[in-house]
Amino acid sequence: NSLYEKGFNFLKGIKVIFENEDIVILFKPVGVLSQQAKDNDISVNEWLVGYLINKGEITPKTLESFKPSVCNRLDRNTAGLVLCGKTMRGLQGLSKMLKERTLNKYYITLCEGIFDSVKDVKAFIVKDHKTNKSLVVNKTGDKDASPIHTVFYPIASSNNSTLLKIHLLTGKSHQIRAQLSNLSHPIVGDVKYGAHKLKSNAGDKSHQLLVAYMAGFPKRCPEFPEMSGKIIVCDLPEEFKKILKETGFEKWEHGLQEV
């Protein structure tokens, strides 16, 4: 299928971080869709199928009965780890872990202002599909509101911004972006949620500096025993590193993966 070929050939920024016979964990760059929004979109899903066809692991015939797929979605302009099932076992196992929250997902971001303490935040969120924005609400006054849970860990502050490590316990659309905006600490560059447009030597940025950088499998992982205790980490995009350096975080740049 030409869409899969296109996906594999055109989406050059996607990298394989980890792979075994059932799952593949990819790095998705900024600007790439996790899944199609329209029929002719090229997303991580098309790249994945093209990649597996190219490796000879699947064929157009096997696609008729099973299609490998991404299991978690990142916003178009959020970079980082995307978990994918190559087989039915892989897809079902990852989906179960994400649903039961046994797989730990961590993000790194730079937010505006001084975020001075660990915050463990439970709230509710509502998606406005017209504006494609999410709104944090404190009680279930809205029947469409979903519960959310996030823990924010400040790593360091500099130039009125804070580098945060974030443990995402639920995975609702725009959850981190909406919560930080609600806490008056919008993500640097996230103009949609009230941040200033970022002026940087890396160029004018009007997208959020947010990276899904770590996935931690539980110590005992019945779905994938061979993954028990494994931690998968990706590098930060070069643009993010440059901005961290410009903002005065260069000494943290190399320590991020140990955070």
Q: Which residues form the catalytic set?
A: 75
Q: Which residue has the tokens 């799952």?
A: 23
Euclidean distance between CA atoms 233 and 113, whole angstroms: 27
Strand partners, 198: 205
CA atoms lying within 13 Å on the CB side of residue 59: 2
Q: Which residue has the tokens 């996030």?
A: 150
| DSSP letter assigned to residue 159 | T
User: What's the one-letter identity of residue 74?
Assistant: L
Cα Dmax for the chain: 56
Residue 113 is inside which H or E element, if any? none
What backbone torsions phi and psi does residue 240 show, to the nearest 5 degrees? Answer: -65, -45
Q: Helices marked H in the chain — which ranges? A: 2-10, 44-55, 88-100, 175-182, 238-247, 250-253
Euclidean distance between CA atoms 166 and 149, whole angstroms: 11
Q: Which residue has the tokens 């997208």?
A: 207
Strands 210-216 and 231-233: antiparallel
N-term to C-term CA, the chain: 42
